[in-house]
A = this chain, B = another copy of it.
Amino acid sequence: MVSRAESAAATRRAVLDAAAELLDEGGPDAVTLRDVSARAGVSRGAPYGHFADKDSLLAAVATEDWERFSDEIATLRGTPAAKLRGALTALVSIGRHHPHRYRQMLGPPAGEDPAQMVAASCRAQEEFLALVSQVVDKQDVHRYGGLLFTGVSGIINAELSGHFTTGKWRTSADELVDTLVTLIAHVQPSDHMAGGSSPAR
């Protein structure tokens, strides 16, 4: 026998999974609440018992993806440098295997309660910065950590948009990521330029 709460949780899970699947298959426009419901085996109105609207459902998918990513990079083992590269590889991997969910993760927090998605991405940032702090000098952690993460995300985005196959960059995402990591790993705090104004908040 299934309790009512259990069945409700199962429905929520099924809806979430169906949405993630459809998002993977055809992007946000292919995520139709009607199709989601059908694939989850529930009625059209059922998702509204768990998510305020379509945007909130998509945000919930992204939130789970952020949490999965956080767990993944938090359990990396090896040398600090290897862990850092592992984290970046994990990010690249998400972008390549789940382009649309990747874009959803990196887009602006949406839905009825954006704070939830913000919190999830915040934790990922913390985990990532923890790895960075083992590789670069303490005072450069945020600057280099932020640059690594946002830079790599931009590289991935360019690859997903086909800019390396159809554009003029005669290079690849892998090479760029490697270049960026090498640049940051090589430049040690010795030459910290005076540019660093007061950090934002």
Name A residues whose Cβ lies closer than 8 Å to a Cβ of B.
Answer: 103, 106-109, 118, 121-122, 125-126, 129, 142-147, 149-155, 157-158, 160-172, 175-176, 178-180, 182-184, 187-189, 193, 195-197, 199-201
> Complex Cα distance A19/B99, Å?
26
**In the bound complex, do residue B155 and residue A175 qualify as a contact, i.e. CB atoms below 8 Å apart?**
no
Q: Would you give 26 A-B contacts (Cβ < 8 Å), ordered by A?
A: A106-B158, A106-B161, A108-B162, A109-B166, A122-B168, A143-B171, A143-B176, A143-B179, A146-B164, A146-B171, A146-B176, A147-B179, A147-B180, A150-B163, A151-B151, A151-B154, A151-B155, A154-B154, A157-B157, A165-B201, A170-B201, A175-B196, A178-B195, A179-B195, A188-B195, A189-B193
A121, closest chain B residue (CB): B167
Known: A183-B184, A196-B175, A199-B170. A155 touches B161 (CB 8 A): no
Classify the secondary structure of A's interface with B.
Answer: helix
- Residues of B with C-beta under 8 A to A182: 193, 195
| Chain B proximity of A3: nearest CB distance (Å) | 37
* Complex A-B, nearest 5 residue pairs according to Cβ-Cβ distance, in ascending order: A154-B154, A146-B169, A125-B168, A151-B151, A189-B195
Point out the residue from B142, B154, B165, B180 that lies within 8 Å of A170, measured CB to CB: B142
A188, closest chain B residue (CB): B193
> Complex Cα distance A167/B122, Å?
5
